[in-house]
Amino acid sequence: MNKLKKRLISRVSIVLLGIAIIPTFSTYVNAASIGTTTINQNTKVSLSVQEKLDKYVTVNNNQYVLSKESKSIVSEQEYAAAQQLIKQTNEAIKKTDSVINRETKVATNEFTLSDDKVKVISLNQGKATKRKKYHYGVNKVTYHWNYIRVYLNKNMTQTIASGALGGLGSLIASYVSGGAATFAVGAITAAVTTFVGNSIKGGVWVDYNFLAKTVTRTGWQ
């Protein structure tokens, strides 16, 4: 086993043992919370099913809405899981005063108001952009209805890659807690370590999917 694999296994073990340091908003058996409600950890929806559901998710009054028409293309359990997650994500959006971009369906609390502070005139798109140079980056989290995109600056990326949590648990604690946070931190830590290897060029971003319970994409900021 090479040094990278040993380091990765050790790091994930530390994350899974570090449940106590991740804040929780409520305690449930075999469940975890986003905002103040719970989602069953055993519920898992494949990425292909989520892709089918995505076109049935719209934005209304700054909340995600899943059309009942989607019941015809997925199982009852998959529909219920998606509805529950959307409910929890909507509560988290309210809690963090985020705004959903209707086109990208990505929510962020980074936006620009009009002079009278009534209308949103500029909104973070939540997209990874192609750049010629690597950047130090920022630490923040943005939403989609079924995943979060976690941005880690170069310093936090270095810390995580060296074997420490580096505040990752605290960063996502405003969005997810309990057992779900433990799984998320473990998956994100492993993905970051694998992605950067021994060459940390800048900050990174990671997409963590709640329904599939896995990291789907990573990139440089």
Q: Higher pLDDT residue, 219 or 175?
A: 219
- Give residue 165's pLDDT: 76
% pLDDT > 90, the chain: 52
Q: Residue 112 above 90 pLDDT?
A: no
Tokens coding 16:
């899974």
Burial of 3 (0-12, 13-18, 19+ CB in 10 A): exposed
Stretch 162-190: mean pLDDT:
85
Quote the pTM value: 0.71
SS3 assignment, position 63 = strand
Predicted local distance difference test score (pLDDT) of residue 177:
76
Q: Is the pLDDT of residue 32 over 70?
A: no
pLDDT confidence band for 96 (50 / 70 / 90):
confident
